[in-house]
């Protein structure tokens, strides 16, 4: 039976008593007209109260009349008539609490009239208006107490309200429309009500677990504004630590960040609420407890590691700084550090909402910390570039000064002043000497602390230290020379004792080591990076300048030896072939009529002939071969790893190409050659050269 049908039935019952209801006074569309009765006029004048406008034959409905019917005139029992006397004296809300409380008996029974002998009297309101009783938890764990009674609207007065429960799968109260099901509605309501009580506890618990995030966005916004305002690390640490401690109520807090010297090891950057006895304590982030931060990116409860034997040492380190929770400072897949929090000073453990608040603050702090790291990195980079630019400007001025003087003595004075300003107390600059087949010191420090210039100190080209510099072609920075045999074998014991560092910067052109700069003592060993940076750049400038000065000095010298360097190179190739056990062949070319050619055609044609010979010979040589011009009209081809069977066809092709390119009517070019092979024709270089010079 619907609500309209019930209202109509109730109206008929009132009308049968000769009374009217408010429904009878409602006008339909056809009865609407302007009303000019006196009560309305009195209303406009404000002289008549609202009670005087009610007509005497109108029956005013009270709230209780919707639930009570007069029983004397109609022969029906009212709802109050079937209740005990003590229950009728209770308020309506208490009666509903008693009827639908969990401790009550089975619900849904029809009311009986007094004196009717237990005969069932039909209720005009219908049995479907009785709310079903809620299901009692069989285990008794979720059953509410008597104080947590259920109201007629199906709400728990003290517990979660149905409006707070989201995503119902179905409506808990069912309306029956089938007439055949009316007799079972009372029993089904009881059963379904009990089932719903079991569902409501699970749904409230599920909803509460999903909805425990911290939602006080105004607090996060205000704290976030203060965090992003921080321009330095100290300001950021203050805001983050005090915000968490003040908002959550934490006994202590600390911030851990990677060590700049070793990012795999973390240090304590700042702390509040605790005095740390060992502020230089290190934490390993590659594994263990801190390693979980990189894997999980969530709050870690250190109580979970109490019984872990593998992480016992690390756990007690955190206990020593009063750490209970670790919150990662993570943003954009990067972990910038962590916040270590102590125990709460309030009652209870950390809630999910508090942990979510800590994670939110940590994420905002990670963004700010990443920005500060970038600012500091850019500032350091800018300072480095600034110092680099100043250094290069200074070195360029020194190089210009040295080249303008073109004097090794003046260059030495400029070099010593620059080294002393950079904090270098003892040094030496070595250059390659082809004549001595060694590296010779050309400029040393003013005091010559190692005694290099007063003695015949040399480092041979085939020394292990020279070979290492030539092969590696990079700077060497040694604080302790004891493990390096190549360094110990190059210097004496007294010289090694006077060193506090050993820095070497080689100057290589291809595979040729032209020279190197060596530093043996610096004023501040702790500033090795600054001295090493200066040395690396100064070495390139000073050695290049000295080579150019020596070349200019040799060009204007009184004696120039152009043969000895060529013979040293030929001898080096000869010795290397003997060492590896391969043959080596020499081919000697000579232009017999070169003087006549020069007399007939002049200097220009003679120069063109020599240039043509150079082009033809260079085009037919392999990578390991080379040629040397020893006289105006003589050339020697050095062919390592080749014998006469290869050398003779090569010599014929070279001779034919040169003579065919020079055809004159007045004369024919006479180009002859002789070959000598080692070890077939001799084991000595000068013996082989003597055998081919007769060509």
Across 297-316, average pLDDT: 85
Least confident of 185-194, 295-304, 313-322, 540-549: 185-194
Closest of 558, 557, 546, 538 to residue 408, by C-alpha: 546
Give me the DSSP letters along 38-72.
Answer: HHHHHHHHT-S-SGGGS-TTBPPPPTGGGT----T
Q: Looking at residues 56-69, what average pLDDT do you find?
A: 51
pTM: 0.49
How far apart (Å, rounded) are the C-alpha atoms in residues 327 and 341? 8
Looking at per-residue pLDDT, the higher value among 195 and 292 belongs to: 292
pLDDT of 125 above 70: no
Burial label for 112, CB within 10 Å (0-12, 13-18, 19+), is: middle
| Fold assignment, 564-692 | Alpha-Beta Plaits (3.30.70)
Please, which residues have CB within 8 angstroms of residue 133's CB and are 6 or more apart in sequence? 100, 102, 104, 106, 107, 189, 190, 193, 194
282: confidence class by pLDDT, cuts 50, 70, 90: confident
Residues 6+ apart with CB under 8 A from 230: 236, 238, 239, 368, 372
Q: Is the pLDDT of residue 574 over 90?
A: yes
Q: What is the pLDDT of residue 651?
A: 93
Identify the CATH homologous superfamily for domain 217-376: GAF domain (3.30.450.40)
Evaluate whether 644 touches 676 at the Cβ level (below 8 Å): no
* Residue 349: band (very low, low, confident or very high) from pLDDT cuts 50, 70, 90: confident
- Residue 364, phi then psi, degrees to nearest 5: -65, -40
User: Is residue 190's pLDDT more than 60?
Assistant: no
CATH tag for 406-555 (out of 3.30.70.360, 3.40.50.460, 3.30.2130.10, 3.30.450.40): 3.30.450.40
Give the pLDDT confidence score for residue 226 in this predicted structure.
87
Q: What is the mean pLDDT of residues 639-649?
A: 93
Please provide the distance, in angstroms rounded to a whole number, between the alpha carbons at the two ends of the chain: 137
- Return mean pLDDT, the chain: 76
pLDDT tens column, 63-115: 555 545 555 444 444 444 444 444 444 444 444 444 444 444 444 444 444 44
Residue 516 confidence (pLDDT): 93
**Domains 217-376 and 406-555 belong to one CATH topology:** yes
Q: What percent of the chain has pLDDT over 70?
A: 71
pLDDT: is 55 or 369 the higher one? 369
Write the pLDDT tens digit of every residue in 132-189.
444 444 444 444 444 344 443 444 444 444 444 444 344 443 444 444 444 444 555 5
Dist CA 654 CA 647 (whole Å):
11
> Per-domain residue ranges for the chain?
3-61, 68-210, 217-376, 406-555, 564-692
pLDDT tens-digit profile of 225-248? Answer: 888 888 888 899 988 888 888 888
pLDDT at residue number 154? 42
Q: What is the pLDDT of residue 298?
A: 87
Nearest Cα to 268, choosing from 332, 324, 334, 320? 320
Neighbours of 238 (CB within 10 A): 15
Highest mean pLDDT among 293-297, 645-649, 685-689: 645-649
Tens of pLDDT, residue by residue over 527-542, are: 777 777 888 888 888 8
pLDDT, position 476: 87
> Directed axis angle between helix 288-296 and helix 312-320, to 10°?
90
Give me the helices (H) in 274-351, please.
Answer: 288-296, 312-320
Which of 443-452, 525-534, 570-579, 654-663 is predicted least confidently? 525-534
Which two structure tokens, joined as six digits, stand for 124?
A: 């005009």
- Specify the pLDDT at position 642: 92
β-bridge partners, 412 = none
Please determine, for residue 39, whether its predicted confidence score (pLDDT) is greater than 70: no
Q: Does residue 495 register a pLDDT over 60? A: yes
pLDDT value, residue 198: 53
Most confident of 101-105, 304-308, 613-617: 613-617
Least confident span in 46-50, 241-245, 372-376, 494-498 = 46-50
Question: Of the ranges 44-48, 446-450, 653-657, which one carries the lowest mean pLDDT score?
Answer: 44-48
């Amino acid at each position: 039976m619907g609500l309209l049908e019930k209202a109509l039935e109730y109206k008929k019952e009132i009308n049968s008593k000769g009374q009217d209801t408010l429904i009878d006074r409602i006008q339909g569309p056809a009865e609407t007209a302007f009303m000019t009765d006196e009560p309305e006029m009195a209303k406009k004048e404000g002289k008549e109260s609202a009670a005087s406008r009610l007509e005497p034959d109108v029956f005013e409905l009270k709230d209780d009349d919707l639930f009570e019917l007069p029983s004397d005139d109609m022969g029906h029992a009212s709802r109050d008539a079937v209740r005990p006397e003590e229950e009728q004296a209770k308020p309506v809300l208490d009666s509903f609490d008693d009827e639908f409380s969990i401790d009550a008996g089975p619900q849904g029974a029809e009311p009986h009239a007094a004196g009717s002998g237990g005969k069932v009297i039909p209720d005009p309101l219908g049995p479907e208006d009785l709310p079903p009783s809620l299901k009692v938890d069989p285990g008794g764990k979720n059953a509410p107490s008597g104080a947590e009674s259920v109201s007629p609207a199906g709400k728990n007065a003290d517990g979660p309200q149905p409006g707070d429960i989201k995503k119902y799968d179905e409506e808990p109260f069912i309306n029956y429309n089938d007439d055949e099901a009316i007799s079972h509605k009372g029993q089904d309501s009881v059963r379904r009500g009990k089932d719903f009580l079991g569902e409501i506890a699970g749904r409230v618990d599920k909803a509460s677990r999903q909805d425990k995030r911290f939602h006080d966005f105004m607090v996060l916004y205000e704290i976030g504004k203060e965090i992003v305002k921080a321009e330095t690390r100290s300001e950021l640490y203050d805001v983050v630590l005090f915000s968490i401690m003040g908002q959550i109520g934490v006994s202590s807090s600390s911030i851990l960040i990677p060590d700049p010297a070793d990012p795999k090891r973390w240090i304590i950057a700042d702390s509040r609420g605790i005095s740390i006895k060992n502020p230089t304590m290190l934490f390993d982030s590659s594994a263990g407890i801190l390693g979980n931060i990189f894997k999980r990116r969530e709050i870690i409860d250190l109580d979970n590691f109490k019984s872990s034997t593998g992480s016992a040492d690390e756990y007690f380190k955190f206990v020593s700084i009063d750490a209970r929770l670790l919150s990662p400072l993570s943003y954009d897949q990067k972990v910038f550090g962590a916040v270590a929090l102590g125990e709460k000073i309030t009652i209870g453990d950390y809630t999910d909402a508090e942990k979510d608040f800590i994670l939110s603050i940590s994420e905002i702090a990670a963004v700010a910390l990443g920005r500060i790291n970038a600012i500091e990195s850019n500032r350091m980079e800018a300072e480095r570039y600034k110092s680099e630019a100043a250094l290069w400007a200074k070195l360029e001025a020194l190089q210009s000064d040295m080249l303008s003087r073109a004097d090794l003595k003046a260059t030495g004075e400029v070099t010593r002043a620059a080294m002393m300003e950079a904090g270098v107390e003892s040094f030496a600059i070595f250059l390659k000497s082809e004549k001595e087949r060694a590296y010779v010191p050309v400029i040393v420090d003013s005091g010559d602390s190692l005694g290099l210039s007063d003695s015949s100190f040399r480092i041979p080209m085939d020394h292990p230290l020279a070979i290492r510099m030539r092969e590696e072609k990079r700077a060497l920075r040694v604080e302790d020379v004891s493990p390096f045999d190549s360094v110990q074998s190059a210097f004496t014991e007294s010289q090694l004792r006077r060193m506090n560092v050993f820095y070497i910067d080689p100057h290589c052109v291809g595979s040729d080591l032209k020279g190197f700069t060596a530093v043996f003592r610096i004023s501040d060993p702790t500033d090795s990076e600054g001295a090493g940076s200066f040395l690396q750049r100064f070495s390139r400038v000073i050695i290049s300048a000295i080579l150019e000065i020596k070349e200019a000095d040799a060009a204007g010298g009184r004696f120039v030896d152009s043969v000895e360097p060529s013979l040293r190179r030929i001898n080096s190739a000869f010795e290397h072939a003997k060492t590896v056990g391969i043959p080596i062949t020499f081919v000697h070319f000579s232009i017999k009529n070169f003087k006549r050619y020069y007399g007939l055609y002049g200097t220009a044609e003679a120069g063109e002939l020599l240039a043509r010979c150079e082009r033809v010979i260079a085009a037919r040589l392999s990578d390991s071969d080379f040629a040397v011009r020893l006289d105006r009209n003589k050339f020697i081809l050095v062919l390592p790893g080749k014998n006469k069977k290869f050398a003779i066809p090569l010599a014929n092709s070279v001779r034919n190409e040169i003579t065919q390119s020079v055809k004159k009517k007045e004369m024919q070019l006479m180009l002859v050659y002789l070959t000598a092979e080692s070890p077939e024709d001799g084991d000595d270089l000068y013996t082989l050269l003597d055998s081919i010079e007769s060509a």
